[in-house]
Amino acid sequence: MENIVLGESLFLFLFQIIFYEERNFQGRFHECDNDSSDLHAHFSHCNSIRVEGGFWVIYERPNYMGYQYVLSPGEYPDYQQWLGINDNIRSCRLIRNVGNTWRLMVWERPNFEGQSMEVADNMPVFHERWHSHDVHSCKVYEGAWIFFEHPNYRGRQYLLERGEYRRYSEWGAMQPTVGSIRRVKEY
């Protein structure tokens, strides 16, 4: 929990995610309010999640590795609701760069070389505006973004926060394929 005082007003921000072993928020559960590199000690599998506050990225493996899933506040009564391929969740991280403005640049080659394009909005079919399905490097100037492996926000997800990514492996991808791009924001 984080308190921020602005002038005379006190704003309370609650960042919390709750993991349940069974579907529909049943069984053993674990509440988390910060990054956790290894959740295995708290539950053996995860079939439902409640995000009480904040935006989170959950990972299939410990130490923020494996498949990534970006979750906004809400209820996910089974792992298919967050597009999960199984019930393995082993680490989680709070997304800290959710904001009001979004801007990133993508490049066709590693190390910010070759053709580039600026992106400031969601792109459900990336290759309609970009000459290829591949992105080899990227700079995120504002906001947080999700790259999806397939068009229409399907397939593997990759969270990109403010910073430089000289090659696709730096955002956790095994291939440079990008099918769609979405801003992380409140809907």
The model's pTM: 0.84
The CA distance from 76 to 72, in Å, is 10
- The pLDDT of residue 14: 81
Which residue's structure tokens are 């053993």? Answer: 28
Shared domain check, 65 and 128: no
Shared domain check, 173 and 149: yes
Mean pLDDT over residues 149-155, rounded? 95
- The pLDDT of residue 186: 60
pLDDT(95) > 60: yes
Mean pLDDT over residues 97-101, rounded? 84
Shared domain check, 124 and 49: no
35 contacts 93 by C-beta, under 8 angstroms:
yes
Q: Which domain holds residue 45?
A: 2-94
Shared domain check, 83 and 116: no
Shared domain check, 117 and 77: no
pLDDT(12) > 80: no
pLDDT(187) > 70: no
Long-range Cβ contact pairs of 113-116 (< 8 A, separation 24 or more): 113/137
Q: Which phi and psi (to 5°) does residue 24 adopt?
A: 55, 35
CATH code, domain carrying 12? 2.60.20.10
Question: In the chain, what is the straight-line distance between the N-terminal and C-terminal CA atoms, in Å?
Answer: 23
